[in-house]
Amino acid sequence: MRIDIISVLPELMESPFKASILKRAVEKGLAEVHFHQLRDWSVGKHRQVDDEPYGGGAGMVMMIEPIDKCITDLKSQRDYDEVIYLTPDGETLSQKIANTLSIKQNLIFLCGHYKGIDQRVRDLHITREISIGDYVLTGGELAACVLADAVIRLLPGVLNDEQSALTDSFQDNLLSPPIYTRPSEYKGLKVPEILIEDWLHEEAVRITQEKRPDILD
């Protein structure tokens, strides 16, 4: 899988891909992550990528020309399955979306900034809009890292135990049941004597009903 991330602050995103599971995925060649500084396609000698809203208003808007040039350049090099804009008004990221994207080959993530992007970018290029929650961040960079992590960890060979991802929360519309490790007793708290599949499922249903009844079928 290849992910191209377009941003005005790509340096914000480098660290997560240099440690742990994401680093292993990149080193194994299972995932490629490329950062693109939008200012490389900027307008004028001042590398401008934002301008005042047409017709007036507060804040600044990311201009259409640099983004269009960048995405068009990337598309000339390969075919992309999705061009995703990280935005608060997109569909909320879920495990189902992560599963769907994990079987794609080439993805572009566009990180919004300022008040957002010129609507014509959405009309011309964006195939999917994703939000990581009902709140506003300074930009889409952290959201892009969250989305990349959720997708890359699902790629075959990334996790040491591929069955682990299949038993994660939300994979079967349930939260995870209680889990234990050694010692079997600690400060008077004991591991249940019988840890069987049916019991684990019942506990998962119980916990989901208590904490997230909205995701139960």
Q: What is the pLDDT of residues 181-194, one digit of tens each?
A: 889 899 999 988 77
- The string of pLDDT tens digits covering residues 128-170 is 999 999 999 999 999 999 999 999 999 999 986 555 555 565 5
Q: Does domain 2-152 correspond to CATH entry 3.40.1280.10?
A: yes
The reply to whether domains 2-152 and 167-215 share a CATH topology is no
Q: Please state the domain extents for the chain.
A: 2-152, 167-215
Q: Give the dihedral of Cα atoms 45, 48, 54, 59; nearest 10 deg.
A: -140
Q: Which CATH number fits domain 167-215: 3.40.50.11540, 1.10.1270.20, 3.40.50.300, 3.40.50.2300?
A: 1.10.1270.20
- The string of pLDDT tens digits covering residues 13-39 is 999 999 999 999 999 999 999 999 999
20-27 helix and 141-152 helix, angle to the nearest 10 degrees: 70
Is a pLDDT exceeding 80 seen at residue 212?
yes
CA distance 17 to 15: 5
185 or 175, greater pLDDT: 185
Whole-number mean pLDDT of the chain? Answer: 91
What is the predicted pLDDT for the residue at 168? 61
Task: Give the residue-averaged pLDDT of 108-132.
Answer: 96
What is the predicted pLDDT for the residue at 199? 82
Distances (CA, A) of 145 to 37, 111, 152, 175, 191: 16, 10, 10, 23, 36
Is a pLDDT exceeding 60 seen at residue 68?
yes
